[in-house]
């Protein structure tokens, strides 16, 4: 790939993912904009709780039939507003906008990502042909299919995630895309409100997902899963427990993939003001030392631009080398986070 064309491609990706006119909706953008506008125009006697309820479109406690006139109203604080519910409210506000796609997983570009344990032999080419330093980016969005399925609280979504590894700096071999993974899925999202040891289960998801690298022959990798995802929240902490079942296939390109990627995923998220820290764990205590972890840190830079630092150590970062250990550190920019 010619240098000028390479620079143009990088620019297009950055504009598409991170530009001010991005089609991905920031989950908190509308809420924060509403808070700012109300601070400018609201009556001086308006309470903070009233302002937050107005922007979140929450029911007014004064109108609740179980609250008597003699009972004092519980103060509305930042901790009383669920982070997950806040995101769901923000997504519903833009659901009818045809020019907006709601984010599903994180959307980011790692401008520089270094892997000190590459598995380039799988391509049947000399390892020296590939660079250890490359770009990694993810595009992920979801589309509501049916609201309130069968008159229940369940919403049906379709989603798609693209994760790519790009040898952008490797001009000797024309800067190819080393690996691109496609992940369409269909899932139900069900808001919930029960507690376990002080943790509130705010959302449950049940779905089916296909993941493939779009290759053929000996480079082909794919698998299908049915999964459940239980999301718990407490204060500024969120924990998700996601077990899955691999759907058997007749022509299996990678029959042992669940031995390396495991049969569940654990994720913990801590949000402190405008910073987000997350930890992902897979395949713990399997007896084969195939445990996997990923650490993320995102922080504000300017406007909707956020810095992003990612560390990965384990198996299954990409499908092409799911059975080889990766050890990667990257930094870049992020448009949308989990919360």
Is 148 one of the annotated active-site residues of the chain? no
- Give the active site residue among 22, 210, 220, 327: 210
| pLDDT one-digit tens code per residue, 92-151 | 888 888 888 899 999 999 999 999 988 888 888 777 789 999 999 999 999 999 999 988
Does the pLDDT at position 170 exceed 50?
Answer: yes
- Give the active site residue among 22, 80, 164, 212: 212
Please give the pLDDT value at position 24.
Answer: 58
Is 174 one of the annotated active-site residues of the chain? no
Please state, rounded to an integer, the average pLDDT across all residues of the chain: 84
Please give the pLDDT value at position 64.
Answer: 40
Please give the pLDDT value at position 73.
Answer: 41
Please give the pLDDT value at position 339.
Answer: 84
Please give the pLDDT value at position 27.
Answer: 46
Residues of the chain with pLDDT > 90: what percent?
Answer: 58
Does the pLDDT at position 282 exceed 70?
Answer: yes
Does the pLDDT at position 264 exceed 80?
Answer: yes
- Span 208-224, average pLDDT: 94
Does the pLDDT at position 213 exceed 90?
Answer: yes
- Span 196-209, average pLDDT: 95
Domains and CATH numbers, the chain: 30-85 (no CATH), 102-336 (2.40.230.10)
Separation CA 204–CA 45 (nearest Å): 39
Q: Give the torsion sign (CA, 163, 169, 175, 178).
A: negative
Contacts of 14 (CB under 8 A, 6+ apart): 109, 333
Separation CA 226–CA 194 (nearest Å): 24
Give me 102's structure tokens.
Answer: 């709601």
- What is the pTM assigned to this prediction? 0.78
Separation CA 182–CA 214 (nearest Å): 7
Give me 197's structure tokens.
Answer: 């040891």
pLDDT higher at 251 or 204: 204
* Closest by CA position to 231, among listed 209, 254, 205: 205
* Closest by CA position to 257, among listed 294, 213, 295: 213
């Amino acid at each position: 790939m010619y240098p000028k064309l390479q620079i143009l491609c990088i620019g297009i990706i950055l504009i598409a993912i991170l530009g001010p006119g991005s089609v991905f909706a920031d989950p908190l953008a509308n809420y924060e904009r509403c808070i700012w506008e109300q601070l400018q125009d609201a009556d001086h006697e308006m309470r903070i709780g009233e302002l937050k309820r107005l922007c979140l479109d929450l029911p007014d406690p004064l109108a609740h039939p179980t609250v008597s006139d003699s009972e004092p109203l519980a103060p509305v604080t930042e901790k009383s507003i669920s982070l997950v519910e806040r995101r769901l409210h923000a997504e519903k506000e833009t659901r009818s906008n045809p020019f907006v796609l709601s984010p599903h997983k994180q959307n980011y570009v790692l401008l520089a990502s270094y892997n000190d344990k590459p598995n380039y032999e799988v391509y049947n080419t000399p390892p020296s042909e590939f660079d250890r330093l490359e770009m990694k980016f993810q595009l992920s969005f979801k589309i509501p299919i049916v609201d309130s399925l069968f008159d229940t609280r369940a919403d049906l979504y379709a989603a798609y995630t693209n994760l790519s590894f790009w040898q952008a700096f490797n001009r000797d071999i024309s800067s190819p895309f080393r690996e691109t993974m496609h992940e369409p899925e269909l899932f139900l999202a069900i808001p919930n409100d029960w507690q376990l040891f002080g943790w509130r289960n705010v959302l449950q998801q049940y779905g089916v997902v296909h993941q493939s690298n779009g290759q053929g022959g000996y480079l082909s990798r794919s698998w299908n899963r049915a999964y459940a995802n239980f999301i718990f929240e407490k204060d500024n902490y969120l924990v998700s427990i996601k077990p899955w079942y691999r759907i058997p296939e007749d022509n299996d390109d990678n029959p042992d993939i669940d031995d390396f990627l495991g049969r569940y995923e654990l994720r913990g998220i801590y949000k402190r003001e405008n910073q987000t820290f997350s930890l992902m764990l897979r395949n713990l205590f399997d007896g084969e030392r195939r445990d996997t972890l990923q650490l993320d840190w995102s922080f504000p830079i300017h406007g909707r631009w956020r810095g992003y630092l990612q560390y990965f150590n384990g198996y299954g970062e990409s499908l092409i080398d799911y059975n080889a250990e990766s050890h990667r550190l990257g930094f870049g920019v992020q448009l949308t986070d989990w919360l």
